[in-house]
Chain A
Amino acid sequence: DVKVTQSSRYLVKRTGEKVFLECVQDMDHENMFWYRQDPGLGLRLIYFSYDVKMKEKGDIPEGYSVSREKKERFSLILESASTNQTSMYLCASSRDRSLFNEQFFGPGTRLTVL
């Protein structure tokens, strides 16, 4: 079974703090993704990566950056957290760029910014 793990289930930070969210997948997948999930808005893509050291902006990249130094690990960085970044953050991975492949999701990190 594919396993996608996220470093924290719950996180509370203060406005202005730098926040790191970590994601690890164990199936040698090429692609990794970061989404945020908000009630009534569904999932929105923040950033994604097709390979090590590669990154692409998603639909809502503002206020975020990412890092992929190793194939299995994809980090989401909030340089200066703000209250409007309070949300559920989901990491996902998929095998390759084939349109047919599904994405496998982690359990999510619920981030609260005070």
Chain B
Amino acid sequence: AQSVSQHNHHVILSEAASLELGCNYSYGGTVNLFWYVQYPGQHLQLLLKYFSGDPLVKGIKGFEAEFIKSKFSFNLRKPSVQWSDTAEYFCAVNTGFQKLVFGTGTRLLVSP
């Protein structure tokens, strides 16, 4: 069965620190990958997505992610986090016809 692993369940950083959240997927076919974010009290929204082409994908608010096919990974990065990045982050893989499989999420707390 397809699965998505997010290894870090909770991450605490200080402002201006660099961020990398891990995401590994288990799926043998063509993949489309997403990172969604849920800010406190808000609905889930798209941060970025990979469909094809350049494996380095840039999203909103300075986030980027790199698709490494050989490692089945799609890690999320940001060079300098802000307090407003405090949120829960979900990696997801589209296994076909819009059926998304989500990871368990990573809660990020950025202290000012």
Contacts and interface: CB of A to CB of B under 8 A. Distances in A.
B7 interface: no
B45 A42 contact: no
A74 interface: no
Contacts of B98: 31, 33, 48, 94, 97-99, 101, 103
Interface residues of B, number: 27
A40 B32 contact: no
Contacts of A103: 46, 98, 100
B93 to A, nearest CB: 10
A102 B46 contact: yes
Interface stretch (A20-28, A60-68, A76-84, A104-112): A104-112
B71 interface: no
A45 B49 contact: no
Nearest to B1: A59
A106 B43 CA distance: 6
Interface residues on A, range: 20 to 34
Contacts of B99: 45, 48, 58
Interface stretch (B11-19, B77-85, B102-110): B102-110
Given A45-B100, A107-B43, A102 B90 contact: no
Interface in B1-59: 4, 6, 9, 30, 32, 34, 36, 42-46, 49, 51
Contacts of B100: 43, 45, 103
B73 interface: no
